[in-house]
Amino acid sequence: MHSRKELHHIVLDVELVLISVVQGVALTTLATEASPVLRSHQLLDYAFVGTGLLFVLSFWSVALVHAISFLAWPMDLVHYFFYFGVGLLECLTFTRIEHPQDWFGFSIACFVLSGLLYAYDDRLIRRRHAEFSHTAAHRALYAHIRGGQRFEMLVLMPAGLLFSVAAWWQVREHPASATAMAIAQFVLSAMFLANFLRTFARRQKLITACAAD
């Protein structure tokens, strides 16, 4: 039988492999769909492809932060099912590069499912509270995990959802606004990724402090 430490490593290995495979498929879909449309050198297409790349990087970054922060044995299959669902919606979004209204429609679905994933993971985090109560370093790590999770769940996900709904409606009513909406979405996605990078940098320091404690 495996020791509990070995089981923790198995969970982490599964998480990292799944993240990479799912987002690798999404990136492959984006590259396949982007190749023909970029030949027209339209700003709209460049904005959508750039946003698609930021989607992949953002989801991969968030999943990686979660993996090294709080995921442990016992394994939770529903958590992984969400990854497959989000990956599918990413792929469907990327197939609609030439159809702005559909692109924003699938973006709405992505944020809805991502928001549900955040809510589910928040429950997993709360269930592991006792595991982070041993030392001041562990308590500081838990506070950062919970604070970051709630900020992203209650601020970033709703912001992305509201923008996607607004962009979908705007493009439906005024198709000529598609390029402006695509550029705005690219900027918003870049801001999301910047937040995830800051979170990752701070989280690494807190995890290192726990390991040294």
Identify whether the C-beta of residue 90 lies closer than 8 Å to the C-beta of residue 84: no
Q: Which domain holds residue 44?
A: 4-212
Residues of the chain under the 70 pLDDT cut: 1-6, 72-73, 213
Rounded distance, CA 157 to CA 138, Å? 27
Rounded distance, CA 21 to CA 117, Å? 18
What residue type is 13 in one-letter code?
Answer: D
How confident is the model at residue 3, as a pLDDT? Answer: 64
How confident is the model at residue 12, as a pLDDT? Answer: 79
Q: What total number of domains does the chain contain? A: 1
Identify whether the C-beta of residue 110 lies closer than 8 Å to the C-beta of residue 89: yes
Q: Would you mind telling me the total number of residues written for the chain in this entry?
A: 213
How confident is the model at residue 4, as a pLDDT? Answer: 61
Rounded distance, CA 27 to CA 187, Å? 19
Rounded distance, CA 184 to CA 177, Å? 11
Residue keyed to tokens 């944020």: 111
Residue keyed to tokens 């989280």: 203
pTM strictly above 0.95: no
C-alpha 123 chain-centroid distance: 17
E-assigned strand segments in 52-162 = none
- Residues in Cβ contact with 76 at an 8 Å cutoff, skipping those fewer than 6 apart: 124
How confident is the model at residue 127, as a pLDDT? Answer: 87
- Residues in Cβ contact with 52 at an 8 Å cutoff, skipping those fewer than 6 apart: 30, 34, 90, 93, 94, 97
What residue type is 145 in one-letter code?
Answer: I
Could you give the C-alpha distances from 14 to 10, 93, 134, 154, in angstroms and in order? 6, 26, 27, 28
